[in-house]
């Protein structure tokens, strides 16, 4: 007898905001069967229940206990345009100039849409870099604000654009450089820091370099979005074992080279 395999919608949260068991699907635990977007048909990895169309386990919509849907941060694209570091004013951009020269620095800034923050927090103007996070569909998710000196040394300062702009929302991060995934036909290399991604894009252009932002930044919802691509993880030296478990789970390659 031939076994039938069920297929599921790619974007779990947008397919169904809630699991039929009543829990919010913001973490993507409920997988909607393909062709049933917006309907409570699929499998929940949280409650471990099946809700198939040909089963009596389907829960009627009026029986679902609704939860509050969080308001995610979605910065206006105009923010990215207004803060785009066209004149290489940030100290991070100046570090890129010192390292690669002005023409290559311009290419890196343009490729990753690097921004610069004006002095809204009482420090030296035009010093902080904004690492914008755009997803594969080029939706603007977040702006991570960091401070470097012109020698590339990170200073003890991190902020977020939604905090600067006083937005009342929940952070919904993605990979730094994620907007390049669908447009650039190269194998993907993931590192921890945005700075490393920028540098490696010049040092080893055979890969598309993106960053997860921190040692624990390889969450399932991020990894699932790139599971169909050729991905290699380049962890920091003290994170190899932790990232190896992620590589094994998602069938990514992993390297000690970085």
User: Which residues lie closer than 8 Å to 167 by C-beta, 6 or more apart?
Assistant: 73, 75
pLDDT of residue 115: 96
> How many other CB atoms sit within 10 Å of the CB of residue 225?
19
> pLDDT tens-digit profile of 121-149?
445 566 899 999 999 999 999 999 999 98
Tokens of 23: 């829990």
Share of the chain above pLDDT 70, in %: 89
> pLDDT tens-digit profile of 215-228?
999 999 999 999 99
User: Which residues in the chain belong to E strands, given as ranges?
Assistant: 30-32, 42-44, 49-51, 115-117, 128-134, 140-148, 154-160, 188-191, 208-211, 231-233, 253-254
Mean pLDDT is lowest, of 117-131, 151-165, 177-191, for: 117-131
Residue 25 phi/psi, 5° resolution?
A: -100, 25
pLDDT of residue 124: 57
User: For strand 115-117 and strand 128-134, is the pairing parallel, antiparallel, or unpaired?
Assistant: antiparallel
CA distance 199 to 100: 9
pLDDT of residue 4: 52
pLDDT of residue 56: 59
Q: Which of 45-54, 70-79, 159-168, 170-179 has the highest mean pLDDT?
A: 170-179
Span 109-115, average pLDDT: 97
Query: What residues are paired with 131 via a beta bridge?
Result: 144
Confidence of residue 93 (pLDDT cuts 50, 70, 90): very high
pTM of the model: 0.72
Q: Decide if pLDDT at 66 tops 80.
A: no
Q: Tell which wins on pLDDT, 18 or 110.
A: 110
pLDDT of residue 258: 72
pLDDT of residue 221: 93
Return the DSSP state at 238. Answer: G
Q: Is 76 exposed, middle or buried (0-12, 13-18, 19+ CB in 10 A)?
A: exposed
């Amino acid at each position: 007898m031939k076994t039938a395999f069920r297929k599921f919608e790619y974007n779990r949260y947008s397919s169904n905001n809630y699991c039929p068991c009543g829990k919010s699907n913001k973490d993507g635990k409920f997988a909607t069967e393909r062709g049933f977007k917006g309907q409570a048909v699929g499998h929940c990895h949280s409650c471990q229940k099946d809700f198939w169309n040909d089963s009596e386990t389907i829960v009627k919509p009026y029986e679902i206990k609704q939860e509050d849907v969080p308001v995610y941060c979605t910065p206006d694209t105009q923010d990215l345009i207004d803060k785009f570091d066209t004149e290489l004013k940030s100290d991070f951009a100046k570090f890129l100039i010192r390292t690669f020269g002005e023409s290559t620095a311009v290419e890196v800034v343009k490729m990753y849409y690097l921004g610069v923050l004006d002095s809204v927090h009482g420090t030296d103007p035009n010093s902080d870099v904004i690492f914008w996070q755009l997803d594969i569909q080029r939706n603007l998710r977040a702006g991570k604000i960091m401070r470097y000196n012109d020698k590339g040394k990170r200073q003890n300062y991190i902020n977020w654009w939604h905090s600067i702009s006083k937005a009342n929302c929940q952070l919904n991060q993605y990979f730094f450089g994620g907007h390049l995934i669908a447009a650039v036909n190269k194998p993907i290399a993931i590192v921890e820091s945005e700075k490393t991604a920028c540098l490696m894009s010049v040092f080893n252009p055979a890969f598309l370099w993106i960053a997860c932002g921190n040692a624990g930044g390889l969450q399932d919802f991020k990894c699932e979005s790139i599971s169909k691509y050729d991905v290699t993880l380049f962890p920091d030296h003290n994170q190899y074992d932790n990232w190896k478990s992620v590589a094994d789970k998602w069938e990514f390659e992993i390297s000690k080279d970085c």
